[in-house]
Structure 1
């Protein structure tokens, strides 16, 4: 009985860590905390999932704004060949009439599979066979195996699709309540409440998403090698839109298979997993920067469709 209780406790712990696939999955992890709310300040309860999603969206916005501002406000020093006087020119890599489209997808797949097996054993009398002067005894038995399979998978996808104009992102922040100012942590609504928000997403655990380095490099390549090598008369070179995608996939699985071998009955002796559970988090970010045209919109949509198909296929492959 004690061994059965231990196995049951272990199974429960596996389900708790990996997810059960029988309820609505949460983007947050089991160790993240919901904000309970405060009646005195009329602050409602805030789930850990909402905290994570806000922090991720803020993180992306801040890095994107910093990248665009840097790309459109770097300086170049030039010297006059005659007077030697130095002047500073401000260059702009990204046209101000462009826009930045962002697609953020936070997907969680939870699954559970149960494969019980039971075998009934009946021992029969040994058979005796005589071959001339030699007698051979053969043991006999009868077995009846019963098995069943039950599985469940639950998927949750939260999506955010903000869009910012390059002109807005290029503006220098001057407001005292600028949410991206690291010197003002009180501007974060959760830290203002004295609450450390949930931060279990890989987007929040990474120190740098690499948006600025990518954007500067991509626009530099665009400037050196545009689509139309020979521009139309009186016109400028066509500049391509650029896209950037980051995807984090984290998979955790747990399983348990208790086995009993008795005289009359055996359980789970076939080698199949008795109880398995898994949780897969797929956090995906797509940024497309380009002119406000159908070509840019189609490129952004194609990236979203490709990411969605890949995530769906991955969820099928990781189901226990």
Structure 2
């Protein structure tokens, strides 16, 4: 098992890492994975928006005011950012202990070791923009990601809990404990990070008459750390731009989350060395 793992991690840190794990570590495999991620998250967005708005419309019929609380979404947008970070590391640490012939009353050994390591990091970013009203599935419209292969990423065909984001914001409004989102100071944001680490080591040992080679430590090691990060920022559309972007405060929140997410990923990678 260790040999198979090391085979998959062979050459870690000495070339640009592939986006997808072995045995699908090729351009076609990476393209299929990215396409599946984008399609799956887009469907999750559409199903969530459709469910939230539809439930609000149905609930409004039984309210004394017949008021709907999701109307603000008609003038909102969603900015989606994917960040894929792959860190591969390899290390070699040969060591030896030499034991020359010595008198019975004396014991002398000479030890030595060498440490060599390499690390390669690859970061890819994808950004998409949607108008929330375009995400609503009307009669006859569907978005089906059930056929996507989920093996490439946990972002594929996973419950991303987007519905809870809107519940947390709308429930206080419907119960009268908060006002509905309005103006240019409202932002909703959802961030998810999945990190998967694979590592392995191999240590052949030789016991000789006058020495021991690789008697301690790990001779050959390799690891692959891949982080898939998703940031979704909902906010009012920027009217001066014709609704092609979010308002400034939402854009700033979106960029800040990507920056802090990148710093956190780098920190976890460094600590894991």
* TM-score normalised by the chain length of structure 1: 0.71
The answer on 1:181 being equivalent to 2:181 is no
The one of 164, 167, 182 aligned to 1:213? 164
Structure 2 unaligned blocks of 5 or more: 237-245
For residues 196-255 of structure 1, give each alpha carbon's deviation from its aligned partner in whole angstroms, at most 9, with x where no partner exists. Answer: 75732111263x221123223334346742599xxxxxxx67662111111111112111
Structure 1 unaligned blocks of 5 or more: 1-9, 35-45, 81-86, 127-137, 186-190, 229-235
8 Å CA contact 2:150, 2:156 repeated in 1: no
**Structure 1 vs Structure 2 CA RMSD:** 3.0
Q: Give the match's secondary structure for 1:31.
A: coil
The one of 1, 9, 15 aligned to 1:23? 15
The answer on 1:77 being equivalent to 2:61 is yes
Q: 1:64 is matched with which residue?
A: 45
1:88 Cα deviation from its structure 2 partner:
7.4
Q: 1:290 is matched with which residue?
A: 235
The one of 176, 183, 206 aligned to 1:260? 206
The one of 100, 112, 133 aligned to 1:167? 133
Q: Higher Cα Rg: structure 1 or 2?
A: 1
8 Å CA contact 2:93, 2:217 repeated in 1: yes
Q: 1:275 is matched with which residue?
A: 220
Q: Give the match's secondary structure for 2:226.
A: strand
8 Å CA contact 1:51, 1:198 repeated in 2: no
8 Å CA contact 1:93, 1:220 repeated in 2: no
Which structure is higher in helix share?
Answer: 2
Q: 1:63 to 1:197 in 2, by over 3 A?
A: closer
Question: Runs of 4 or more off by more than 6 Å in structure 1?
Answer: none
The one of 10, 17, 28 aligned to 1:47? 28
The answer on 1:144 being equivalent to 2:118 is no
Q: Give the match's secondary structure for 2:85.
A: strand
Alignment of 1:236-255 (within 5 A): 240-255=186-201
Q: Give the match's secondary structure for 1:240.
A: coil
